[in-house]
Amino acid sequence: MASGTALIYDEEMTTHRLLWSDPVCDIEVPERLSFSYEQLKCYHLLERCVHVPAREGSEEEILLVHSSEYLEVAKSTQTMNEEELKKVSGNYDAFFFHPNTYRCARLAVGATLQLVDAVMSGKVCNGMALVRPPGHHSQRNAANGFCLFNNVAIAAEYAKLKYGLQRILIVDWDVHHGQGTQYIFEEDPSVLYFSWHRYEHQEFWPSLRESDYDAVGLGKGKGFNINLPWNKVGMGNSDYLAAFFHVLLPVAFEFDPELVIVSSGYDSGIGDPEGQMNATPEVFAHLTRFLMQLANGKLCIILEGGYHLKSLSESICMTVKTLLGDPVPQITGEMAPCLSAVESIQNVRAAHKPYWKWLTYEDTSFLQNLSTKSHLLMKADPNPSTEHESKITNNNKTVEVERFLELHMKNILFPVPPIKTATTIDFKWSAHFLPGPVHLVKEMDKSEIKALVSGFCTDIVKEDKTLFSLGSVVAVLDKILKKEVCNGIAVSPTAVSVAVALRHSVQFGFQRVLCIFVGDMQIIPNTEDGKILMIHICEKEQFGKTSSKHFISLSWKEDAKGNDFFSAVLGVILPVAYSYQPNLTVIAVGPNRSLGISGISLLCALLQGLAESRIFAVIEDTEINLVQSVAKALVGTCTPHFGVFVPPTQEKVNKIKILRDQFQQEWKMLQCSVKDGISRN
């Protein structure tokens, strides 16, 4: 099994630079690479990565995407003087040539392909290539938007050719539409291209009609081009997460890619002069964490844009930390997508309903009267500032964001516990069946447990045999609460142990504990004070307990043909969980569970973005395969198998819709459509 994270960087790519004054291009500077590389050093991430050397991409590899005529033009610039370079640069939209640009662009292509080879050969599990010039605007015959060769598109064609791949997902989270990538693959069903981008009803560069949500691909490629347009600036963490929950991840799990490539532009982050968005660096850790669950973890992240050096470098570090398997920082900001984001999500879902099975029974309709249309009339500035005044303002904003990020990163970063996953399961049993990194802790004895729980659990812990069964649960949980381990797993009867675990966590000082309980639950915790949020998944609702804000019952029996639980996790559980923002997640598997191993593994894997990745799994069933799979998901060294995607039935889609309608005002991340054209912001 592959392990490790590759990092590819070559200092020579910093020699590509602008030789003359050009206010359009002057933000694409060599420091974008060098500053980010230094920040990786500061976080001690470089020494943890597998260093893979860059190489030049060959002409044959470049010609997988670009024309020979265009290649010759690029080659010819190596011997040009400044005036000649300026003239040929003027033939393209927002691009500049330097005598070493061609060499740097070939290194960018080669570095990208080196990463694909390292991942596909199993040398590493995932990785990142820091490259310049970027690539996603580049077209078959034209440089465009700082891009000479389309690194990611060449990588996709290369992977198809060399490794026989039939399904590749390209995720473009740059703030600009990667129209070059769209044009290259818009008729190709083997490549699913997803891009979100600042659009503002075609007002923002590249200002193309085909960047809107209704450009879904052509011919056989219909449905395989997904554009999510942002029609206003200021999009934040919750907007990006909502796009993943309600559009990208459901499509991606249905598509089932063999490789994921990210066009990783960080101009969609806070402080960037191009994007003017508000997403903070940790959101890229969360997005990366989700993508790591696809394609058996085969993930290649390729740098595109990003022009605020502090925002760019911190976001890159968050991405690499996550690739390395570090716990993900708690997301910040209000967990509620804005009205404009929800409108765009609704239109994308409506546009793609004919092409994807997960949308078959979803209630989708197009919105024509968008809330941001009227804002366009107000955009004209009656007193336009001079270029000089504008630069002063931008410089002030840059410094302001730098100060904010300095403090913000100190607030969200935390010491990584020395142990990733702990258990008390019998050593002889675990040595054979659990992943190697699982750490064994000693069970608490009866007197220790009695002393610990006597103050708050005497009503449910009445017999000595009950105390004995709690030994493993309390021992592992205590390590998690004290932040000595990141997550843990215990095999124990769930009836009492889960109730004790929840009370102990709250008693310890945790203010928000999320519990996902799968199967029959005999003791219902008190959730009225909001310190516990219970999501109960069972075949039939129990006890006549009705759903309320902090007790949500989901009646669900997993499909025998495969895993249809994706839609429940992405449509209800993740949005509710991210809205709640717990300090700890407890996943309990009790008797008569209605989910298979793949569904439970999916829960464990996708919920690790919450609570600084603190997850405690309590399993009553001692079935080896279940415990093994949960342990794999928690350790994170390899992606557990989530089973074959099966679209949900109409009945199950209706269950999700009922819960969404019931709770979306309390848990706003559930929102994926606008009711009667009205929303809250």
Residue 392 structure tokens: 């002063």
The answer to whether 379 and 203 are in contact (CB under 8 A) is yes
Residue closest to 265 by CA, chosen among 316, 203, 231, 332: 316
Q: Which DSSP string corresponds to 574-619?
A: HHHHHHH--SEEEEEE-SS-SS-HHHHHHHHHHGGGSGGG-EEEEE
The H-assigned helical ranges of 423-572 are 427-433, 446-453, 464-469, 471-481, 494-508, 566-568
Q: Which DSSP string corresponds to 13-78?
A: GGG----S--TTTTT--THHHHHHHHHHHHTT-GGGSEE----PPPHHHHTTTS-HHHHHHHHHGG
- Helix axes of 101-120 and 68-76: crossing angle, nearest 10 degrees: 130
- Helix axes of 446-453 and 471-481: crossing angle, nearest 10 degrees: 60
Residue 284 structure tokens: 């890229």
Alpha-carbon distance 14 to 32, whole Å? 8
Residue closest to 127 by CA, chosen among 118, 136, 135: 118
Amino acid, res. 263: S
**Cis amide linkage into residue 337, ω under 30° from 0:** no
Alpha-carbon distance 102 to 286, whole Å? 35
Alpha-carbon distance 420 to 209, whole Å? 48
Amino acid, res. 35: F
Alpha-carbon distance 675 to 290, whole Å? 28
Residue 297 structure tokens: 């973890």
Count how many Cα atoms sit within 13 Å of the Cα of residue 584 in the half-sphere of its side chain: 29
Alpha-carbon distance 62 to 508, whole Å? 58
Amino acid, res. 71: L
Q: Annotated catalytic, 137?
A: yes
Residue 227 structure tokens: 């554009």
Alpha-carbon distance 497 to 477, whole Å? 11
- Please give the DSSP secondary-structure letter assigned to residue 201: T
The answer to whether 323 and 654 are in contact (CB under 8 A) is no
Please pick, among 136, 137, 352, 536, the residue that the annotation labels catalytic. Answer: 137
**Cis amide linkage into residue 435, ω under 30° from 0:** no
Alpha-carbon distance 151 to 558, whole Å? 41
Alpha-carbon distance 337 to 579, whole Å? 10
Count how many Cα atoms sit within 13 Å of the Cα of residue 456 in the half-sphere of its side chain: 12
Catalytic residue ranges: 137
